[in-house]
Every structure is written in C-alpha cells, then in structure tokens.
Amino acid sequence: MNPETAGARLAEVARLFLRMGFTAFGGPAAHLAMMHDETVVRRKWLDDGEFLDLIGATNLIPGPNSTEMAIHLGYRRAGWRGLIAAGFCFVVPAMLIVLVLSILYVRFGSVPQAQWLLYGVKPVVIAIILQALWMLGRKALKTRIAAATAILVLAGYFAGLNEIGLLFGAGLAVMLLRNFRRLQTRMLTVMLPLAPAALAAAPAGVPFGLLRLFLTFLKIGSVMYGSGYVLLAFLRADFVVRYGWLTDPQMLDAIAIGQVTPGPLFTTATFIGYQLGGVTGALLATLGIFLPSFAFVAVSNPFIPRMRKSLWLGSLLDGVNAAALGLMAAVTWQLGVSSLQDAASALITLLSLLLLIRFRISSTWLIAGGALAGLLVHGIAGM
C-alpha cells in the first residue's frame, strides 16, 4: 500500500469513528448495527462473514465489545495507525460529552434531563438493529445447528441465564457437535481462555488516590465480560462497597449519564473519575478502562483468519456468532418493550426501517432525525 493510499484510509477511519463517537446512541447492539451499516453495506471494507467473525472475536475477550469492534475495523482498514485512530476517535467524543455533563452534575447536583432525546432516538436504534440482525442472520444462521443455537440463547437470556455462559456455552456446543466424530478419535485440545483473577479486594474506607483509581479501572477493563449491568456490578463492588468513595445514588447517576450519551457505556468511568479526582481523575479513569481493549485487539486480530481456517476454532466462532445474534435479538426486544409505548414511537421505527431498506439513508442521519422527532413530539406534548 503506497503512502497516499495509507493516509487516505487512515483519514477515512478517523472521520467515520469520530462521527460515530458523537452519534452512536443505544448501547453495544446498536453500535454494532451502525458499524455494520457503515463498513459492510456502504463502504465495503469487509463482507458479512468477516464482520461476524470480528463480533465473535470481541465476545471471546474482555472489555467493551463495540469499542473493540471499532478498533478491529480500524486495524483491518488502516493497520496499526487505524487501530489507534478508530479507538481514540470512537471513545474521545463520548468522553468529552460525559466530562461536560459531569461538570454540570457537580455544579447543579443532578443528571440533566434528556428524555425527549431518547424518546426519538431509541425507535431509530431499534430499526437499525433489526436491519443488521436480518442481514447478519442470513449469513450466520444458514444451518439448523446455528439457527437452533440462536433460538436457545434467546430463550436462555429471557430465562435469566448468564449471558457470558450462554456465549461460551454456545460456542463450545457448536464446536463439539460439528466435530463429534473427530472428538471420538482424539482428545479435545482446545481450551477457552479464562479471564484473569480479579485483584484482591481492598478493605473498606480506603483513602482516595489517583493511582488506585487508574489501577481499579485498568482491572475492570481487563477482566469484565458482559453488558452494562455487569459493569454496574463491578463498579459498585469497588467504588461503593470496598472503597466507600461513592454512594449508590451517585453510582446510578453515573450509569444514567453513560446511557443517555452516545458512544460506549464504559465512558461511565469518565464521570466517576471526575467526581473523585477532577479532570485528571476523569482522564486516568477513561485511560484505565479502555487501554486493555487496544492491547487485546492488537494481540487477537492477526489470529482471527487462522481461527476461521481451523475446523475446531471455526466452529467455535460460528457458535459464538449465532449466540451473539440471539443476544442482540433479546436486547432489541427489551428496547422495543420499553421504547415503543405509543403510536408516535412505533411510527418512527417503521419510517426508519423504510428509509434504511428502501433508500439506504445513513444511520447517522436517521439518529439525528430521531432526535429532532423526539424534540417535536416533546414540544407538542408540552403545549
């Protein structure tokens, strides 16, 4: 690749993920759907199968899935510089927005209200995820085993089973089923990586320190699998129970800030860092929780094509991919139940689907349109 082409690709990566950092509302499932729309459907950086394998790879390592997906895509498009640019551009806008809200929170003592924004944005997010599920599902669920896996994971999620157990269990099950005959003739030699043990709990009431703040978030970013609810459990265990640095209401406000802002939910760390250590604390907390993702992706990305070529690990990826789609479907259902509560919100979803499928309108413009629709409905209701 000549320098001009490399520079153009790097700029393309930076522009895309900087824009997504300001507009990617809705959590990991929505982020993945938007990335699929931008990188597979519109830009043709990779195909559906390659995109699915990257989803599978992010589910096999700790950390924020959507951020790691951005880093993977940046690396695939523009090499090491793309890896850094994609992650940096996706995280920093969200971090800056959360930092501003943190300052307002300290000054006024409450979370700024943005219900009108979410009212219009959530129905659009649902439409974006539904389109991605349809397109990725046609690629990933071609066999009966894969389709059954996705359905069982969906059912298991609503039955209250642990989502990480569902992901790894599905991957192992598909791997064993597809390689059963080989398993009869030789011992299974593939083992799933285990998350490193958490650092020893510190006694309650530990005095605040910037180094401990950074190391705690570094630990969380290194070992945490799962959704925002899992993140809440980690944060509460350390900052409320062990250290006594925050109260439960403050912790819930931190999660709320992460949910109403675009970009990764892990920017909740920015909010907590600011509450405890000002701007320096916010920067250190953000660096600590996201730094492991860059390292994990840099190490794992070159091995993904090899995993696909392996009979055993390729089957594992297929199972994890099917499970991931099942979990995305479950999240979409929950978002729908909580968001589509009247005719106006349902209409926003239907119009968004039409614009996506028929006219291929960019998901970024749809998000902006949803926010405007929410403002209009909020204004009409308030008249």
pLDDT in tens, 45-60: 999 999 999 998 888 8
pLDDT at 336 > cutoff 80 = yes
Rounded to whole angstroms, how far apart are CA atoms 140 and 157? 19
Kindly report the CA angle at 161 between 217 and 156, in degrees rounded to 5? Answer: 130
Which domain covers residue 187, as residue numbers?
A: 3-193+298-381
- CA torsion sign for 134, 135, 137, 138 is positive
Find the range with the poorest average confidence among 37-51, 180-194, 283-297, 322-336.
Answer: 180-194
Q: Which residues contact 6 (CB under 8 A, 6 or more apart)?
A: 78, 79, 81
Q: Assess contact for 282 and 273: CB atoms under 8 A.
A: yes
Q: Which two tokens mark 302? A: 């070159």
pLDDT at 69 > cutoff 50 = yes
Q: Assess contact for 275 and 246: CB atoms under 8 A.
A: yes
Which of 302, 271, 299 shows the shortest CA–CA distance to 286? Answer: 271
Q: Which two tokens mark 144? A: 């009966």
* 320-349 exposure pattern, b = at least 16 Cβ within 10 A, e = fewer: bbbbbbbbbbbbbeebbeebbeeebbeebb
Which of 350, 383, 371, 360 shows the shortest CA–CA distance to 120? Answer: 371
The answer to the question of residue 291 being in a domain is no
The counts of H helices and E strands in the chain are 16, 0
First to last CA, the chain: 59
The answer to the question of residue 74 being in a domain is yes
pTM: 0.74
Number of domains in the chain: 1
The answer to the question of residue 199 being in a domain is no
Q: Please give the backbone phi and psi of residue 60, each rounded to the nearest 5 degrees, phi first.
A: -90, -10
Q: Which residues contact 147 (CB under 8 A, 6 or more apart)?
A: 141, 322
Q: Assess contact for 191 and 265: CB atoms under 8 A.
A: no
pLDDT at 71 > cutoff 90 = yes
Higher per-residue confidence, 79 vs 176: 79
The answer to the question of residue 175 being in a domain is yes
The answer to the question of residue 78 being in a domain is yes
Q: Assess contact for 175 and 315: CB atoms under 8 A.
A: yes
The answer to the question of residue 48 being in a domain is yes
Residues 97/101/106/108 CA torsion (nearest 10 deg): 150
Higher per-residue confidence, 121 vs 87: 87
The answer to the question of residue 87 being in a domain is yes
Phi and psi based region of residue 109 (left: phi greater than 0; alpha: psi -120 to 50; beta: remaining): left
Long-range Cβ pairs for the range 223-230 (8 Å, 24+): 223/62, 223/195, 223/196, 223/197, 223/198, 224/62, 224/63, 225/62, 225/164, 225/195, 226/163, 226/164, 227/27, 227/28, 227/163, 228/27, 228/255, 228/258, 228/259, 228/265, 230/164
How confident is the model over 28-51, as a mean pLDDT?
Answer: 91
The answer to the question of residue 282 being in a domain is no
Give pLDDT, residue 5: 87
Share of the chain above pLDDT 90, in %: 32
One-letter amino acid of 179: N
Q: How many residues does the chain have?
A: 383
Q: Residue 280: pLDDT band by 50, 70, 90 thresholds? A: very high
Give pLDDT, residue 187: 40
Rounded to whole angstroms, how far apart are CA atoms 22 and 193? 34
